[in-house]
Amino acid sequence: LVEKDADGAIILFWKAINAGDRVDSALKDMAVVMKQQDRAEEAIEAIKSFRDRCSKQAQESLDNVLIDLYKKCGKLEEQIEMLKQKLLMIYQGEAFNGKPTKTARSHGRKFQVTIKQETSRILGNLGWAYMQQTNFAAAEVVYRKAQQIDPNANKACNLCLCLIKQGQYSEARDVLEDVLQNKLLGSDDPKSSSRAKELLEELELSVPLLWNPTGLSLEDAFVEGLDQLMSQWTPTRPRRLPIFEEISPYRDQLAC
């Protein structure tokens, strides 16, 4: 029904919620469908208004949906606060309803997620939200913590970008090297590999004289950089003003 008639499905979800019939799943599923229908604001209000009718076990799942909705709407402050709240729950031992792992679903597949993995994931999302606010210093701190807990190539690339934005090119290169040398989980993923190469190009453009992929000494790299710069300045043919180009054919006549 959801695929054929989303609006009709939402009406049925509302009826189930009002009747108290499997409210946990009805509210969550309705919010997801609303998001797909570009009704994220309405979905946010629905969760806020009716989550008190849901079980304690459903609250964490509703939080995750709410974070996605805030992201969809561009509500960064609300998203950041929710992510901080989830980190606090982990710190207090309240995440996963007190269990060390939980069952998650992705693309129809079930798998187990540990507290460690969940913490790193939340930190990654928090770092991304800070990046959207161009608060790269805060994002850097968060991504570094995430990488200490459960490192992967995607977060490494984000950390690298944060460092570039702050002019910390040497540290950015060190972080990027781990991805380029396939030292991190996901380094061989086509998207991560492509992004790492893009960041490498950005680094080279940012610091053409400091980036030293050829293994030359700093002095040699500096001289090589100057040579390249001089070659750009040196024209392949004499540059003359247009008026001299126009006079040139008549040079012999003028000499007479």
Q: 15 pLDDT exceeds 70?
A: yes
Find, among 19, 49, 46, the residue nearest to 32 by Cα. Answer: 46
For the chain, give me the number of helices (H) and strands (E)?
13, 2
Total residues found in the chain within this entry: 256
Give tens-digit pLDDT for 190-227: 999 999 999 999 998 887 544 444 444 444 544 454 45
Q: Are 160 and 199 in contact (CB under 8 A)?
A: yes
DSSP letter string, 23-42: HHHHHHHHHHHHHHTT-HHH
Share of the chain above pLDDT 70, in %: 79
Q: Whole-prediction pTM value?
A: 0.74
**Residues 79, 83, 85, 86, Cα dihedral to 10°:** 140
Give tens-digit pLDDT for 162-198: 999 999 999 999 999 999 999 999 999 999 999 999 9
Share of the chain above pLDDT 90, in %: 67
